[in-house]
Structure 1
Amino acid sequence: MDFKSILLILFLAIISSFSFFISTEHTNEPIKYEAVKYEIVKYNFKSFEPNLQIMEKENNFWISICLGEKKSGGYEVKVNSIKRENDKLIIEISSKQNSKYVTQEFSYPSLTISIPKLDIKVVEVYIYEDKIPLIITKDIE
């Protein structure tokens, strides 16, 4: 191969790589979320580790979230938001110990919500107890 052929191949490789980057350019469009209506239901869900349970009840999904075993009582679990992104349901909850005076026995803080049955494949829960959330993901079967 002569020098001109090598330059031509190099030039074509550079041009094709530029066209690849131009064609795969990402847009900066915001992700669209849809708020989901929910209600809190009474259901006792106990787990030693943070866990997520999904049940179908009539035309609803019941989603139970347990924060795992805690060394004392007095924990408050609160829903921050529930939203849908395509086929994924995203639930954000927070938890904190409610007062200075708590029971000195193990507790299993949990929360169960009921939402209308949606066409979703994944439930992703963000639990904020500290600054960095614990994330639990579960597929809907």
Structure 2
Amino acid sequence: ILAGEVTAAIHGVDAAMQAREQFLARFSKLTFAQAGDLPTVCNLGQSVSDAVKALGFAKSNGEVRRVAEQNGLRLVVESEGGQEQVLLTPDEAREPLETVIKDKLNELSGDYYLKFGRKLARITAAR
């Protein structure tokens, strides 16, 4: 905790948050695949915003847009080699999930997840 406060004081809150995420990604042994029951996204034809709302993670398109503007909307791929996260923009949130996955993940193999802030869902539809 103290290291985070020192980093925030010297480099700013954003840098401290990024350093914490990097630390957790590097040293955490748990993976999303090991998480218990996660909600799932099966319909890749719907927009990212519609998927987020259907999961109950957001109530409106405006809420999805705001979270995306704050870098809180991500696609995640987990494989044996680690985890890769890709930020989604507010414009990409309006696109079909299938299109965004193809464009952003370039057919990376592994387990796919949709992350909205601290909320997480597994993408289970056939790819």
- Where on the TM-score scale, by shorter chain, does this alignment land: which range? 0.3 to 0.5
Q: TM-score, normalised by structure 2?
A: 0.32
Choose 1 or 2 for highest CA Rg.
1
Whose strand proportion is higher, 1 or 2? Answer: 1
**More helix per residue:** 2
